Structure 1
Amino acid sequence: MIAETVCSAVAVAGLGISGVLAFRKRFLKAARTAAYALVPLGLVMTGAVEWVVDTAFSPTAWAGFGVLGAAWLLFMGTRAVERRRAAVAGGKEREAVAPAASAPSLGESRRATPAAQPKRSAQPKTEPAEDFSDIEAILKKHGI
């Protein structure tokens, strides 16, 4: 009863503020304020406020939340035990989905030292559209 009265009073106050804003020619703010003010009134009229108040002050509802929490703890505990058993029984780590995909990055570096690399000529290329040496170097660096 008190919750419904408070929600109704908040709605009336919000509609009053909305009226003042509309009087001052701030119609967008007035419409937005009216929308926010009508939410508590709608909740009272649908009975949602009564349901929330009954749930909040009900020992049975709180016991139900406790049971749900205990069920969640049991689920998480059994999941942790299953993971631990699987790790002990397997005796090895999980295999990668594509173990050969990252093999080049795990091996020795194939890049030559800067002293061993051939020096590039200072002359510009005549056909820059067909020069894919930079792209090939990047692909080779990543093992593709």
Structure 2
Amino acid sequence: MIAETVCSAVSAAGLGIAAVTAYRRRFLAAVRVAAYALVPVGLVMTGVVKWLADTAFSPTAWAGFGVLGLAWLLFMITRAVERRRGGTRGQRREAEAAAEHGPVAPGASRPSLGSSASRPAARPSGSSGTPAKGEDDFSDIEAILKKHGI
């Protein structure tokens, strides 16, 4: 009963503001204010306000919200643990199965992990001392990685 009265008062105040706005010849704004002012009355007439008031003062409803919150908290905890472990059991099995099949591109070259002194410099045949286009592209990257000790 109190909620319906408050909603009616808010709507009446909003319609008063809309009338003052229209009096100042701001008709578009007045119509917008009137539309907002009619929303609380519409909610009262449809019964939403009564349902919300009954829910707000119901201990059973608050217990239900508590259970929903607990369920959400448990869900978030399991997601965090799953991310920390590296995925679910099914995802780990898929990754292990993919690793057993070997590399995706078997003809691809392996990345160099050692120092430059331990591996011989590969030169394409027929070059006159200038690096090939593909080799030149990666020389800058190698220099940066060496500079940072990677």
For the superposition of Structure 1 and Structure 2, which TM-score range results when normalised by the shorter chain?
0.5 to 0.7
Q: How many residues were matched structurally?
A: 113
Which residue does 2:18 correspond to in 1? 18
Which residue does 1:38 correspond to in 2? 38
Which residue does 2:2 correspond to in 1? 2
What is the CA–CA distance in structure 2 between the aligned matches of 1:93 and 1:23, rounded to whole Å?
74
User: Unaligned regions of 5+ residues in structure 1, if any?
Assistant: 111-115, 118-135
What is the CA–CA distance in structure 2 between the aligned matches of 1:20 and 1:52, rounded to whole Å?
32
Q: Matched residues, percent identical? A: 66
Change (3 A) 1:72 1:33: same
Per the TM alignment, residue 71 of structure 1 is displaced from its structure 2 partner at its CA by: 2.8
What is the CA–CA distance in structure 2 between the aligned matches of 1:77 and 1:24, rounded to whole Å?
56
Which residue does 2:53 correspond to in 1? 53
Per the TM alignment, residue 72 of structure 1 is displaced from its structure 2 partner at its CA by: 3.0
Q: Aligned AA for 1:13?
A: A
Change (3 A) 1:58 1:25: same
| Structure-to-structure mapping, 1:1-144, within 5 angstroms | 1-78=1-78, 84=85, 86=89, 107-108=111-112
Q: Aligned AA for 2:51?
A: W
SS at 1:25 equivalent: coil
CA RMSD in angstroms comes to: 4.2
Q: TM-score, normalised by structure 2?
A: 0.55
